[in-house]
Every structure is written in structure tokens, then in C-alpha cells.
């Protein structure tokens, strides 16, 4: 009975044993995490702490994925909000008052109102947990396939039992006439008061009260014990993962090629400690799997599985590696096997288009792409192991300064007759048009470069190009894992740009845009970089581009991953389409941050898709479903992928693809 010496001994005893187990496991996890390498780059800790707390408390981390078809984020939010309130309640009343008898709050009005609040939040938790159980074990959505594990059931049951034991504990107290009853209020907490009708005052109810009190305490204790052993760990790890996350998350970190002992990641201890923290944070929700184009198209890659496989491997070899680190002697039988092929299959490593959908929807800030690219880096630079087609593209960049093997065009063929300034001849320009390899050298895309030039001229922009001095920005090389080649290209380009005193750059390629804007600063290349959709939208707004023709058509727009998810450019292209007289737009079902990749990123423009369906054909089908006749893009790789997809589907009569610059160029008077 509370208040007796035996009760306190039991309560304290159970609590201390629990804390001991909890601390022991956390220490182990800490040691495994620190097997990782040092992190580079700076973080804005105060801003990220406030941002993370805001996201966790408001549950925006979950609610950002809320859709009419998926109520799971709301269920999670209900449970979390309920638990925040429960923790405060437990601290004052279960631990300090009932459990340890340190303060006496039960007879106060504070207790009465706290029980009222808890009455509602207990219902929130119950609904959230019940919904999660029904979803996982009865509805079984695709992303939870194979996740009907005992571990998940124990976790969900522990969440479900919590509010039930709380309500019954309070109900028995009410039946016995204890607080919250007897504090001078007629309106008691409704749920507990309603349940109290099941009990009558007497010795039997005293026993029930004691039973519920202990049951409630035991569920608290069970949860504490299993937190560090199960995916519950995300409760702790994800908060630190949010605070310590890399920003912007899609920017790849450079390798110090002169100092690095290993290039990329070969073994688990070559992940950084922050990458290990990512593994602890994963809650196995499957959001990343659901949006991954590689997984959806039937490839072996599943971003959730990649994270889980790395975590399992770390926990498996962790004890031996920690012991080896402490003794300074190598672990027997070397458990530190290469990750590629032993833990993550080569097919998984090469199937990633780096589309960023997984990183975008992950509620706990897990980064996937950095790990996949680090594995590629090791394969490419240390083992010369890569798909043959990737090798061809990389060799072409090395030999010819672009990845388009077999092209017969030169860098400036597209500009013939357009009277465009080349910086080598005339440096008096306000902005440099970075054309990019695809728009300069791939036949279909040259029309995009010509359209951009036409629009810039029509708006009276004083621009120029590098012409034959422009070389590959290095983006395909970096995403394919050849950091050497990327750094070589970046340094060469930065030097040329600086020599010409370039300050502003416009490009129609989101891949070039992303790398020039976000990754060239790592090597001292700081330029103002804008995408052609941003510049055109601005020119229309300022009335410098007059769209005086008009078009009576409905189109759809495909969000390029490196423009949308990577750089948050969603509105400018839509504003441009809206500005064309008579033109209307319908969205594809997967749009903006949930848009489906075209299949061309991460070097895949130059890789053969060996397994499953073709991603570009799947995206073409999604565009066809809208029933429109034109799909607009703002990326030369997407343009090319759609062209191929339309041909493969024999849908040339139903659908055509255009870059937004081509659409606009046709709308202005010569």
C-alpha cells in the first residue's frame, strides 16, 4: 500500500534496477557510436536545437507527411502529445508523491486539474496506439510489410496499456472517495468518473486500486528498460539527431584527398559517429521506402533496409570492435567485413538516383544519400569497382570534359547564329549563362539552351557564355563516387570563373545549379547562382518579358528533384505557367516534395537500369494519367528521361515534353 515502508522499498528498488539496465545499454550504444569517424563541417547548434524542439513538440516532423490517405502521422502526434503531458504527471504524482512520498500533492487543486487534463490525453494516447495496432496488424500498408514483429507489438501494447491503467487507477480512487473526488468539485474528470461506476467503495476496490497502481508503474518501467534495446530508442536518439543534423542535408561533404587514410566508406567503423546516430534514430516507419523510386520500380534498394542493415551490423560487431579498440589489438576473425556486398548489396548501392525523397520524408532526420555515396566513393576510388556504363561516363568527363560519349556536337554549336557573347572575347556581361553539358551537347536539349538565350535577349539581359572553356561541373562524377574527378573539375571551373570575374550565374540545369550554388563554396567558388525558372519568373513579374501570344492548353509540371527537394524551388515554374495567357495546369498525383523522380539523377542518366521497371517510364505513365498533352520540365535530364519514356510507351501522339524555357520562348514575339 502506498505510504508503507515495504511499498517504498519495492518502488525504489524497481526504479533503481530499471535505471541501471537503461544506463548500461546506453553506455554500450555510446561506445559503438564512437567507433565512428570524426564529423566535419559546422553546425548552428542553438538554431537547430530550437528548430528540433519546435518540430518534436508540434509533431511537425510527423505531420509534414500527413495526407488524406495516411492518418498515421496524426496517430503518432496524439501519442506523443499524450506522453509529454503524462511525463509531467508521472513526475509530480507517480514518482514524487505516490512512489517516493517526497511531496504531498494529492489533496491539492493542482492534482484535481492535472487529472482532468490527463483524462483527455490518456484518451489521445489510447486512440493513437489502438489505431497504430489496427494499421500495422490488420490493414498492413505496403510500407509496413514485414514489420509485424514481436518487438513492434510489445512497444505498441506498452503504449496502449499505459492510458488504460491510468484511467482505471484514477477510477478506483474516485470510487473509494479519494482525490480527485472529495476536493470540492462536482464535475469530476469525465472518463475516469464514468469508469468508476464499475467499482463500489470497499476492500475489493482497494485491491483493484493497488493492482492498477502497480500495473501502471510496471508499464513505465518496462518502457524504460526496452527503450535502448528497441526502435523506441528513436525517442532519445532522434532529438540529438535533429540537433546535430547536417545542413543543408543534401550537400555532400568533401574528402580531403591529401590527408584521408581511406576514401569513402568500406567498413562500419568508417561511418562517422553522426552517421551511426542516424542508425539509432530510425524508427522503421517506412516513409523512405514508400517514396523511393528505386524500391517502387522493383530494384533491390530499399532505403529503410539500408539503414536497418547498417544498424544491425553495427550492433553485431560493435562489442568486438569496442574491445579491440580498448586493447589496441585487432579483433579475432576480423568481424569488420567490407560493407559492400556483405551488408549492402552492390545492386542497392548503384540503384540510388539520389532523388532525396527518402531524406525529405524521414521524420527523424536520417540521411541516406551520404551513406550510399560514401560506399560508392570507396568502390570507385579504392577498388575501381563500378558499373561499366558509369566507367564510360567518368572516362568521358576525364578525357573530354563532359559525360556524353559519342556526341558529335561541340560546346558552341547550339549558339551558332544567335550572336551570343563569349567571355574570352567580351567580358562585359552582367550574368554568365552556364549552359551545362547536356544542353550544349545533347541534340534535343540544345533547343532548351537556345530558348533560354532567346528569353534573356528578349528581356534585355546582358549575358555571355564560357563557350569552349566551359567544362563538366563535375556533378555526375561526385554522385557516382569519383570525388577525385569532381574536385579536379570544380577547381578548374572555379579558376576560370574567377579569372573572368564572374559574380552571377544563371543555369537551366538543376544539377549544375545545385553543385555551383551549394557545393562549389567548399572549394572557394562563391557565386550568386540562379536557376532559369527563378530568373524568368522574376523577369515576368518585372514586366521585362511580355508574353503576348497565349496558348489554350492544359499542361502538367514535373518537379525535378534537384530543383524542388534539393533547393525548394517549387513556385517559380508554377508562377511562369500561370502567367501564360490561356494556359492552365493540373498537378500529377506525386508533386512537389513527394514528386516521383524521372530516374536520371545520381549519375543514372549514364547508367543502365538492369532490374525491375524503368523509372522514367513509370513517371511518364503518371504524366499520362493526368490526360494532358504536354508535360513541362525545368531540367535537361528530366527532359531526356521523358523523351525516352514517351518513346518506350509509344505515346508520342498523346504526350510531348518541353522545357519551361521552350514553352515561354514560343510565347514571346520575335
Contact residues for ligand SF4 (CB under 6 A)? 282-288, 291-294, 301, 303-304, 307, 352-358, 361-362, 364, 366, 368-369
Q: How far is the CB of 358 from ligand SF4 (least distance, A)?
A: 3
Q: Torsion angle of alpha carbons 608, 611, 613, 615, nearest 10°?
A: -50
Number of Cβ within a 10 Å radius of residue 358: 29
CB nearer ligand SF4, residue 308 or residue 575: 308
Q: What angle do CA 499, 502, 503 make, to 5 degrees?
A: 140
As given in the structure block, the three cell numbers for residue 343 are 551488408
Q: How far is the CB of 44 from ligand SF4 (least distance, A)?
A: 22
CB nearer ligand SF4, residue 267 or residue 353: 353
CB nearer ligand SF4, residue 73 or residue 403: 73
Sequence-ordered alpha helix ranges (H) in 328-356: 339-342, 346-351
Contact (CB, 8 A) for 286 and 147: yes
As given in the structure block, the three cell numbers for residue 175 are 470510487
Q: What's the Cα-to-Cα distance from 645 to each of 442, 559, 598, rounded to whole Å?
A: 17, 16, 9
Which of helix, strand or coil describes residue 633?
strand
CB nearer ligand SF4, residue 284 or residue 393: 284
As given in the structure block, the three cell numbers for residue 75 are 496517430
How many whole angstroms separate alpha carbon 31 and alpha carbon 128? 34
CB nearer ligand SF4, residue 220 or residue 284: 284
Q: How far is the CB of 462 from ligand SF4 (least distance, A)?
A: 39
Q: How far is the CB of 440 from ligand SF4 (least distance, A)?
A: 27
As given in the structure block, the three cell numbers for residue 620 are 511518364
Sequence-ordered alpha helix ranges (H) in 471-558: 475-479, 483-499, 510-514, 532-541
Among residues 372, 384, 381, the alpha carbon closest in space to that of 343 is found at 372
How many whole angstroms separate alpha carbon 659 and alpha carbon 179? 70
CB nearer ligand SF4, residue 291 or residue 576: 291
How many whole angstroms separate alpha carbon 444 and alpha carbon 465? 20
Q: How far is the CB of 224 from ligand SF4 (least distance, A)?
A: 22
How many whole angstroms separate alpha carbon 100 and alpha carbon 331? 46
CB nearer ligand SF4, residue 293 or residue 573: 293
Q: How far is the CB of 282 from ligand SF4 (least distance, A)?
A: 3
CB nearer ligand SF4, residue 282 or residue 537: 282
CB nearer ligand SF4, residue 147 or residue 553: 147
Q: How far is the CB of 156 from ligand SF4 (least distance, A)?
A: 16
CB nearer ligand SF4, residue 75 or residue 286: 286
The angle, 0 to 180 degrees and rounded to 10, between the axes of the packed helices 5-33 and 303-327 is 90
How many whole angstroms separate alpha carbon 360 and alpha carbon 367? 9
As given in the structure block, the three cell numbers for residue 503 are 559574380
Q: How far is the CB of 564 from ligand SF4 (least distance, A)?
A: 13
How many whole angstroms separate alpha carbon 278 and alpha carbon 646? 39
How many whole angstroms separate alpha carbon 210 and alpha carbon 214? 6
CB nearer ligand SF4, residue 36 or residue 599: 599
Q: How far is the CB of 288 from ligand SF4 (least distance, A)?
A: 3
How many whole angstroms separate alpha carbon 32 and alpha carbon 276? 8
Q: How far is the CB of 252 from ligand SF4 (least distance, A)?
A: 12
What is the enclosing helix (H) or strand (E) of 29? helix 5-33
Q: What's the Cα-to-Cα distance from 535 to each of 521, 559, 669, rounded to whole Å?
A: 21, 17, 19
CB nearer ligand SF4, residue 164 or residue 375: 375
Which of helix, strand or coil describes residue 432?
strand
Q: How far is the CB of 250 from ligand SF4 (least distance, A)?
A: 9
How many whole angstroms separate alpha carbon 493 and alpha carbon 486? 11
Q: How far is the CB of 65 from ligand SF4 (least distance, A)?
A: 9
Q: How far is the CB of 285 from ligand SF4 (least distance, A)?
A: 4
Number of Cβ within a 10 Å radius of residue 50: 12
CB nearer ligand SF4, residue 304 or residue 532: 304
How many whole angstroms separate alpha carbon 532 and alpha carbon 573? 9
CB nearer ligand SF4, residue 99 or residue 303: 303
How many whole angstroms separate alpha carbon 378 and alpha carbon 271? 12
CB nearer ligand SF4, residue 293 or residue 464: 293
How many whole angstroms separate alpha carbon 615 and alpha carbon 293? 7
As given in the structure block, the three cell numbers for residue 518 are 551549394
Q: How far is the CB of 665 from ligand SF4 (least distance, A)?
A: 32
Q: How far is the CB of 260 from ligand SF4 (least distance, A)?
A: 24
Amino acid at each position: 500500500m502506498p505510504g508503507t515502508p515495504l511499498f517504498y522499498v519495492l518502488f525504489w528498488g524497481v526504479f533503481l534496477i530499471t535505471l541501471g539496465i537503461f544506463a548500461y545499454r546506453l553506455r554500450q550504444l555510446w561506445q559503438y557510436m564512437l567507433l565512428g569517424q570524426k564529423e566535419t563541417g559546422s553546425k548552428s547548434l542553438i538554431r537547430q536545437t530550437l528548430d528540433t524542439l519546435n518540430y518534436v513538440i508540434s509533431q511537425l516532423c510527423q505531420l509534414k507527411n500527413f495526407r488524406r490517405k495516411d492518418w498515421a502521422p496524426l496517430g503518432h502526434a496524439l501519442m506523443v502529445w499524450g506522453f509529454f503531458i503524462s511525463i509531467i504527471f508521472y513526475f509530480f504524482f507517480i514518482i514524487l508523491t505516490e512512489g517516493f512520498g517526497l511531496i504531498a500533492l494529492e489533496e491539492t487543486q493542482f492534482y484535481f486539474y492535472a487529472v482532468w487534463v490527463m483524462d483527455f490525453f490518456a484518451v489521445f494516447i489510447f486512440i493513437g496506439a489502438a489505431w497504430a495496432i489496427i494499421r500495422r496488424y490488420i490493414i498492413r500498408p505496403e510500407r509496413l510489410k514485414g514489420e509485424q514483429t514481436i518487438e513492434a507489438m510489445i512497444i505498441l501494447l506498452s503504449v496502449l496499456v499505459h492510458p488504460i491503467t491510468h484511467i482505471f487507477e484514477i477510477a478506483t480512487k474516485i470510487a473509494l472517495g479519494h482525490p480527485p473526488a472529495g476536493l470540492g468539485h462536482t464535475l469530476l474528470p469525465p472518463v475516469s468518473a464514468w469508469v468508476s461506476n464499475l467499482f463500489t467503495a470497499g476492500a475489493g476496490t482497494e485491491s483493484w486500486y493497488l493492482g492498477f497502481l502497480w500495473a501502471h508503474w510496471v508499464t513505465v518501467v518496462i518502457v524504460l528498460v526496452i527503450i535502448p534495446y528497441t526502435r523506441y530508442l528513436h525517442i532519445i536518439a532522434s532529438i540529438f539527431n535533429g540537433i546535430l543534423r547536417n545542413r543543408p542535408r543534401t550537400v555532400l561533404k568533401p574528402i580531403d584527398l591529401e590527408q584521408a587514410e581511406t576514401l569513402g566508406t568500406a567498413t562500419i567503423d568508417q561511418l562517422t559517429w553522426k552517421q551511426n546516430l542516424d542508425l539509432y534514430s530510425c524508427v522503421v516507419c517506412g516513409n523512405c521506402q514508400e517514396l523511393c523510386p528505386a524500391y517502387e520500380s522493383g530494384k533491390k534498394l530499399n532505403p529503410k533496409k539500408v539503414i536497418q542493415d547498417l544498424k544491425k551490423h553495427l550492433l553485431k560487431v560493435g562489442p568486438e570492435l569496442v574491445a579491440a579498440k580498448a586493447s589496441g589489438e585487432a579483433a579475432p576473425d576480423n568481424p569488420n567485413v567490407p560493407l559492400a556486398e556483405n551488408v549492402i548489396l552492390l545492386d542497392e548501392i548503384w540503384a540510388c538516383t539520389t532523388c532525396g525523397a527518402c531524406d525529405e520524408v524521414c521524420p527523424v532526420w536520417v540521411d541516406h544519400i551520404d551513406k550510399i555515396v560514401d560506399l560508392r566513393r570507396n568502390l570507385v576510388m579504392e577498388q575501381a569497382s563500378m558499373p561499366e556504363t558509369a566507367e564510360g561516363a567518368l572516362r568521358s568527363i576525364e578525357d573530354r570534359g563532359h559525360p556524353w560519349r559519342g556526341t558529335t556536337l561541340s560546346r558552341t554549336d547550339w549558339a551558332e547564329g544567335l550572336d551570343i557573347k563569349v567571355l574570352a572575347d567580351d567580358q562585359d556581361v552582367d550574368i554568365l549563362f552556364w549552359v551545362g553539358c547536356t544542353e550544349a551537347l545533347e541534340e534535343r536539349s540544345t533547343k532548351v539552351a537556345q530558348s533560354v538565350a532567346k528569353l534573356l535577349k528578349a528581356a534585355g539581359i546582358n549575358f555571355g557564355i564560357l563557350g569552349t572553356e566551359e567544362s563538366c561541373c563535375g556533378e555526375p562524377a561526385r554522385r557516382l563516387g569519383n570525388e577525385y574527378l569532381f574536385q579536379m573539375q570544380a577547381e578548374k571551373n572555379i579558376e576560370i570563373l574567377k579569372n573572368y570575374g564572374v559574380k552571377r550565374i544563371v543555369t537551366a540545369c538543376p544539377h549544375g545549379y545545385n553543385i555551383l550554388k551549394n557545393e562549389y563554396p567548399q572549394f572557394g567558388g562563391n557565386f550568386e547562382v540562379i536557376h532559369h525558372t527563378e530568373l524568368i519568373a522574376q523577369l515576368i513579374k518585372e514586366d521585362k518579358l511580355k508574353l503576348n501570344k497565349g496558348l489554350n492548353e492544359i499542361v502538367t509540371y514535373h518537379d525535378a528533384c534537384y530543383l524542388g527537394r534539393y533547393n525548394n524551388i517549387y513556385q517559380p515554374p508554377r508562377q511562369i505557367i500561370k502567367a501564360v495567357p490561356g494556359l492552365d495546369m493540373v498537378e500529377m498525383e506525386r508533386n512537389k516534395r513527394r514528386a516521383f523522380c524521372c530516374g536520371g539523377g545520381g549519375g543514372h542518366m549514364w547508367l543502365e537500369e538492369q532490374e525491375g521497371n524503368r523509372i522514367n517510364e513509370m513517371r511518364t505513365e503518371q504524366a499520362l494519367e493526368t490526360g494532358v498533352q504536354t508535360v513541362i520540365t525545368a531540367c535537361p535530364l528530366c527532359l531526356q528521361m521523358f523523351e525516352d519514356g514517351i518513346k518506350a510507351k509509344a505515346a508520342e501522339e498523346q504526350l510531348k515534353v518541353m522545357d519551361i524555357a521552350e514553352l515561354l520562348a514560343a510565347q514571346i514575339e520575335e
